[in-house]
Amino acid sequence: MQAQGRDNVAAQAAEMVAAAAVNENQANVGQAQPAGVRPMHQLVEQFLKLKPPKFTGIGDSETAPRWVEELEKAFDLLGCTETEKISLATYQLQDNANDWWKAVRDRVFPIGTAQTWAMFVEIVNSKYSFESAQEQKLAEFMRLHQEQRTVSQYEAEFTQLSRLPKK
């Protein structure tokens, strides 16, 4: 009889520990986790459920910055660290972009160098956002007038043109 009572107490204690862990995980949603706390396979699974875009390196001058922006929304939601952001972003590279990254990654992040998201974004933008395209967008922005557009249409074009790719 005493053994059964101890088993019930142990089962209740295990349930309490599990509930506390769930509550702690829910409280930490959106906060960056220290490296090694969250298993990478779990992070990748959560990331892929958000259906992040892939990047092939093909497109206009806005393709790379828009790809980065979409990834950053997922990273903010998941509370990713700098290293996790880079790992997840490079997982989404395909075709030419993936080949390019494999060729340059050791020069961008030599062994012993801190990997930062800002540096990764800078190198991607320098490769895939062209200066002439930036100048073209700036000229379009400067010529923008409302003319026959509604305020909403004008605001939408203004917003699109104001998103110049960063160097």
Name the β-bridge partners of 55. 93
Asked if residues 49 and 59 have their Cβ atoms less than 8 Å apart, the reply is no
Rounding to the nearest 10 degrees, give the CA dihedral for residues 136, 137, 138, 142. Answer: 100
pTM: 0.59
Asked if residues 86 and 45 have their Cβ atoms less than 8 Å apart, the reply is no
d(CA 139, CA 2): 83
Q: For residue 147, what pLDDT is reported? A: 83
d(CA 161, CA 139): 10
Residue 3 forms part of a structural domain: yes
Residues 23 and 80 grouped into a single domain:
no
Residue 10 forms part of a structural domain: yes
Residues 62 and 103 grouped into a single domain:
yes
Phi, psi of 11 (to 5 degrees): -65, -40
- Domain that includes residue 39, residue range: 34-129
Those residues whose C-beta lies under 8 Å from the C-beta of residue 50, and which sit 6 or more positions away, are 74, 77, 78
Coil, helix or strand at residue 93: strand
Residues 20 and 42 grouped into a single domain:
no
How big, in percent rounded to 5, are the helix, strand and coil portions of the chain?
70, 0, 30
Residue 74 forms part of a structural domain: yes
Per residue of the chain (167 residues), give pLDDT as tens: 454 544 454 445 334 433 433 344 444 444 554 545 789 999 999 999 999 999 999 987 788 989 999 999 999 999 999 999 999 999 999 999 999 999 999 999 999 989 999 999 999 988 887 654 566 677 777 787 788 889 888 788 778 777 755 54
Residue 154 forms part of a structural domain: no
Beta strands in the chain (DSSP E): none
Asked if residues 52 and 88 have their Cβ atoms less than 8 Å apart, the reply is yes
Domains in the chain: how many in total? 2
Would you mind telling me the total number of residues written for the chain in this entry? 167
Residues 45 and 24 grouped into a single domain:
no
Residues 9 and 88 grouped into a single domain:
no
d(CA 56, CA 92): 9
